[in-house]
Chains A and B, each alone.
Chain A
Amino acid sequence: MKVALAGQPNSGKSTLFNAVAGYRSLTSNFAGTTVEYTHGQARVGGEVLELIDLPGLYSLTPTSAVEEVSRDYLLAGDWDVIVNVLDASQLARSLELTLELLDLESPLVVCLNMMDEAARKGMTIDTHALGIALGVPVVEAIGVRGRGIIETFHTAQEVATGGDRPHAFIYAPEVEGVVEELAEKIAVSAQGQPAAIPKESGAGTEESGVRSDLRTPMESIGLQKSESQESGHLPALDCAEGPLECGGLTPPWNKTQEEGGAKPPHSKALRAISCAVGDCSTACSGHTPATEGPQGPRVPTALAEPAAQRPAVLPPTDFQAVPFQSPITNHQSPILAFPPARFRALQWVQSDPAQIRREEPEIASLVEWAQAGIAVRTGQPADAAVSAARHAACLTLFERVARVARPRADWREQVDRLAMHPVWGYAVLMGVFLGFFRLIFDVGRLGEARILTLFDALVAALAQHMNAQSALYAGVKGAVLGTAGAVAIVLPYLLPFLVGLAILEDIGYLSRVGYLMDAAMHRVGLHGTATLPILVGYGCSVPAVMATRILTTRRDRFIAAFLAVLVPCSARMTVIFALVGFYLGANYALGIYVLNIIVVALSGHLLARLWPEISPGMLMEVPAYRVPAPRVVALKTWWRLREFVLVAFPLLVVGSVVLSLVDYYGWQHGINAALSPLTALLGLPRSVGLTLIFGVLRKELSLLMLMQALGTTHVLGAMTAAQILIFTLFVTFYLPCMATLASMIREIGWRLTLAASTALLALAIVVSLGARAVMLLF
Chain B
Amino acid sequence: MRDTANFASPINLYEAGDHAELRILLITGGWEVRRSFNQLGIQPGDRVRVLRRAPFGGPLEIDNKGTRVAVGKQLAEKIRVEVLP
A residues near B (Cβ < 8 Å) are 58-59, 61, 63, 89-90, 92-93, 96, 121, 222, 251-256, 352-354, 375, 379-381, 383-384, 387-388, 391, 394, 420-423, 425, 511, 514-516, 518-520, 522, 527-528, 615-624
Contacts and interface: CB of A to CB of B under 8 A. Distances in A.
Contact of B41 (A391, A616, A620): A391
B58 interface: yes
Which of B32, B35, B56: most chain A CB closer than 10 A? Answer: B35
Contacts of B64: 93
Contact of A616 (B55, B65, B75): B75
A515 B70 contact: yes
A58 B40 contact: yes
Contacts of A527: 72
B23 A256 contact: yes
Interface of B: 1-2, 23-27, 29, 31-41, 43-47, 52-59, 61, 64-75, 78, 82
Given A255-B45, A391-B43, A520 B70 contact: no
Contacts of B67: 90, 93, 621
A511 B40 CA distance: 15
A63 B32 contact: yes
B74 A617 contact: yes
A384 B27 CA distance: 10
B70 A381 contact: no
A338 to B, nearest CB: 24
Given A253-B23, A520-B56, A616 B33 contact: yes
A63 B75 CA distance: 15
B35 A61 contact: yes
A166 to B, nearest CB: 21
29 contacts: A63-B36, A63-B39, A89-B66, A90-B67, A92-B41, A93-B40, A251-B2, A253-B24, A253-B45, A255-B45, A379-B2, A383-B38, A384-B34, A387-B38, A421-B52, A422-B55, A514-B70, A515-B58, A515-B61, A519-B57, A522-B57, A527-B72, A616-B32, A616-B78, A619-B40, A619-B71, A620-B70, A621-B68, A623-B68
Contacts of B73: 519, 617
A353 B31 CA distance: 8
B65 A92 contact: yes
Contacts of B55: 422-423, 519
The 3 A-B pairs of least Cβ separation, nearest first, read A617-B72, A93-B41, A618-B72
Given A253-B23, A514-B70, A388 B2 contact: no
Tell me whether chain B's interface is mostly helix, strand or loop, or mixed. mixed
B75 A420 contact: no
A61 B34 CA distance: 12
Nearest to B53: A422
Nearest to A617: B72
A248 B54 CA distance: 40
A663 to B, nearest CB: 52
B1 A511 contact: no
Contact of B54 (A59, A422, A624): A422
A337 B44 CA distance: 35
Contacts of B68: 621-624
A622 B23 contact: no
Contacts of A384: 27, 34, 38, 44
A615 B46 CA distance: 23
A421 to B, nearest CB: 8
